[in-house]
Structure 1
Amino acid sequence: MSREDLLARLLAQAEDGGGDFVTLRAIVEEASELGAARVLSRMGLDDDNAHDDVAELRELLRAWRDAKRSAWKAAIDWMVRGLLALLIFAIALRFGFGDLVR
């Protein structure tokens, strides 16, 4: 019996019996399972390799975040070095070491 058939039978049972708590809970659970299965199927994650695919995507996302963090850190590091070099150059000019720079 497929999930669709089971859900249809539960709905018919709820309609006939007035829908006690257990039947309604079973309807909600089966509808949730059916909806989740449809979403996974539409996303292409309903095969045996889906777990590996999601793990690989997470690893790729983690690597992207690490690379982005490293790029920002390197950019800030180079800006600080440039500002320090300008500061040293300005101090050298201020103290009259401009002739050494030329």
Structure 2
Amino acid sequence: REMLVAEIEKRLPAWEKKTHLKCNGWQTKIMQNKWGSCNPAGKLWFNLHLAHTPIRCLDYVILHELLHLKVRHHNKDYIALLDKYMPFWQEVRKELNDFVLMPMK
């Protein structure tokens, strides 16, 4: 958990600066079927399982959730933003989705 938190603390501000989007806080928790989430109040949640994935996967999830602050749904505007900030996002998403979310003890 500590390593994941340290990486998020380092990487999230860089993505906020790059996208000009700012979240209203974030936390980590165990999620059984999602890598991250963004609530309407602008708080981001990151799955603790991300600690077992490559950094590029963490970057993708951070970007993915940040962009939901601007566009709530996965529509063409949202996809255009992903393409703009991470042109190779589809490769990373595939890599991320190849990881199996398993219960943590």
TM over 0.5: no
- Which structure shows the higher strand fraction? 2
Larger Rg: 1
Higher RCO by CA contacts (8 Å cutoff, separation 6 or greater): 2
- Which structure shows the higher helix fraction? 1
> TM-score under structure 2 normalisation?
0.27
